[in-house]
Structure 1
Amino acid sequence: MGVNRRAWLLFVLVSVLWGIPYFLIKIAIDDLSPMLVVAGRCAIAAAALLPVAALRGSLPALRGRLPVTGLLALVHIVGPFLLITYGEQHISSSLTGILIAIEPVVIALLMAGSEPITNLRLAGLVAGFAGVVILVGLDVSGDRWGLIGAGMVLLAALSYAYATKLVQQHVADVPPDALTAATTTISTLVLIPFALFHLPPAGSVGADSWLALGGLGVLCTALAMLAFYRLIGLAGSNKAGLVTYVNPVVAALLGVALLHEPVGVGTVAGFLLIVAGCWLSTRPARSPAEIPVNAV
């Protein structure tokens, strides 16, 4: 199989794997608390990733990096995972996926110090945030809890954007398998004590919720991270970063088709503005470390 074909297969795989978390979260929180869902998916991912990193011998690269790795775990996993999962108690999975797509626009804003904001990029920033205003204004206007849920998801996008900058500045040289294994393990250790207070009564959780949690841990966290970094190696960071434009479409389609979530003209208009904003605000091509690192 040629490199291009493998890259395309990985691109499709990552786009799907990062498009389905919002759908799976919606199913899991029917029976499980958001805290337990996040702790569970982190624990499952860590259990899958640690043996991979150990077999590859990449864990020693983390020596002396515990403080920054711990901070990355908080802003890349613990914070955004909790914000998204709690936020989905109040807004649809399709809206969640679309709002997260604002991340590249936020990254462009955070990188303004090193990359001046040109007129083209400014137009992208304006378009992206206009899309958010349309989405929030039309989908959750007048719904206090809906606004809170949307705000949580937007804070998660901001956290992901900061995580990108953190990786660029401090841990870009650490092997991805070691870094993801470490961040998911640290996240698990942070979250488990809190999750123990949210255990469900025996027999109260349906099989679909457990399966959704397993999918979040194995597929959407562990496998998606490894596939994404492999895609970077084959196709380059700029092309790999295009998954940011595709996974919200997957999230919206799943929400509409399987959860019967409504998608109106305002939702489509907001999404198109965000995509246009992402494309414009990331021109010209960014350096390898400036791609989104969202692992929802």
Structure 2
Amino acid sequence: MSRRGWALFVAMSLIWGVPYLLIKVAVDEVSPVVVVFARCAIGAALLLPWTLRRGGLGPALRQWRWLLVFTVLEMTAPWLLLAYAEQSLSSSLTGLLVAAVPFVAAFAGRLAGEEERLTPVRMVGMVLGVAGIAALLGLDPEGAALLPVLAVALVTVGYATAPLVISRKLPEVPGVAAASVALAVTTVVYAPFALPQLGDAVDASGEALLSLTTLGVLCTAVALALFFALIREVGPQRALVITFVNPAVAVLLGVGLLGEPFTLGIALGLPLVLAGCVLATGRGPATPSAPEVGEPAATAR
């Protein structure tokens, strides 16, 4: 990997471990709806002009039906569910639960007829990942309320299936163009609910406002641009290796900056989840008749 590739890889590994901390800080003072609206509005304001200059809006809008499906699966539903969940769950636990995405994606890809077989190694990875999540929930049950955990489970389903929509139905749409339109649509959807509550955001502390701004600028607009640059530099499969590092960053930030407890469940679950991610997302042999898969969707955590 080139120096540029390594720089992008390190940047993305760190950046997409940060949103859980920022969401946790923000939802302590403003509603989940306002968090999602602010994040998407900022991200769309930065990425839409870029998309227009590059001529990516036309190809995206021509596929508007499938683009709406991607939007719901990747942003509109998951980001509200995440903000809701973090009203109760710690940012550390939320980040680790979202790390189940590779396992759900492998299963979803198999159901959808993806080209890769579930090899024994990948199966072992999925088992390890499930064991890690079981450790997280089973050894720290008081910190894992049922409804928030179910909300995060739905987030993993959305994050895992959205790339299938991009690769199968939107292969000609540039990644940043799809993301910028999705951000704009989600902003419009939440505007009627968020605008009456903006007074709460205005009255929020500087810490909460900084979290919202950083979430929109760094963890959404900048992160999406960098992620697709990373894909161009090292390829889609190697780019997705950042998902191995993001959960660890989320835990370190939650424990170190928010004073969240480093529980026995996290101590045992974290290495199991990370090892499971590595094994479950390893490249397996492809079936000869499988179609080629396009650029994966970015998961803007």
Whole-angstrom CA distance in 2 between matches of 1:292 and 1:276: 23
1:94 aligns to 2:95 (yes or no): no
Q: Which runs of 5+ in 2 are unaligned?
A: 287-291
Indicate the larger mover: 106-115 or 178-187.
106-115
| In structure 1, C-alpha distance between the alignment counterparts of 2:151 and 2:191, rounded to whole Å | 22
Task: Indicate if the aligned counterparts of 1:165 and 1:290 stay in contact, CA closer than 8 A.
Answer: no
1:105-129 superposed Cα distances (whole Å, 9 cap, x missing partner): 1111111133332222222222111
For the residue of structure 2 that corresponds to 1:262, the secondary structure is coil
Question: Is 68-77 or 281-290 further displaced after alignment?
Answer: 281-290
Which residue of the partner structure matches residue 208 of structure 1? Answer: 207
- Residues 106-255 of structure 1 aligned to structure 2 (within 5 Å): 106-112=104-110, 113-114=113-114, 115-139=116-140, 141-142=141-142, 146-201=145-200, 204-255=203-254
Q: Which runs of 5+ in 1 are unaligned?
A: none
- The percentage of aligned residue pairs carrying the same residue is 40
> 52, 58, 62: which is aligned to 1:64?
62
Q: Is the 8 A contact 1:103 1:292 kept in 2?
A: no
Contact 1:104/1:292 (8 A) holds in 2:
no
Given the alignment of the two structures, is residue 23 of structure 1 paired with residue 21 of structure 2, yes or no? yes
Question: How far, CA to CA, are the matches of 1:90 and 1:99 in structure 2?
Answer: 14
Structure 1 residues 176 and 146, CA, compared in 2 at 3 Å: closer, same or farther?
A: same
User: When the two structures are superposed, what TM-score results if normalisation uses the length of structure 1?
Assistant: 0.93
2:270 maps to what in 1? 271
Distance in 2, matches of 1:199 and 1:255, equals 27
Q: 1:181 to 1:107 in 2, by over 3 A?
A: same
Letter in 2 for 1:221: T
C-alpha distance in 1 between matches for 2:131 and 2:19: 25
Match of 1:75 in 2: 73
| Alpha-carbon distance, 1:193 to partner | 1.1
Partner of 2:40: 42
Question: Counterpart of 2:298 in structure 1: which amino acid?
Answer: V
Residue pair 2:97, 2:152 contacting (<8 A) in 1 also: yes
Cα displacement (A) at 1:12 = 1.3
Distance in 1 between residues matched to 2:150 and 2:47, nearest whole Å: 31
**Once the 2 structures are TM-superposed, how far is the Cα of residue 268 of structure 1 from its aligned partner?**
2.2
Q: How many residues align?
A: 292
What are the superposed Cα offsets for residues 236-287 of structure 1, whole Å, 9 maximum, x if unpaired? 1121101101111111111111101111232121121112222222232587
Whole-Å separation in 2 of the counterparts to 1:53 and 1:250: 30
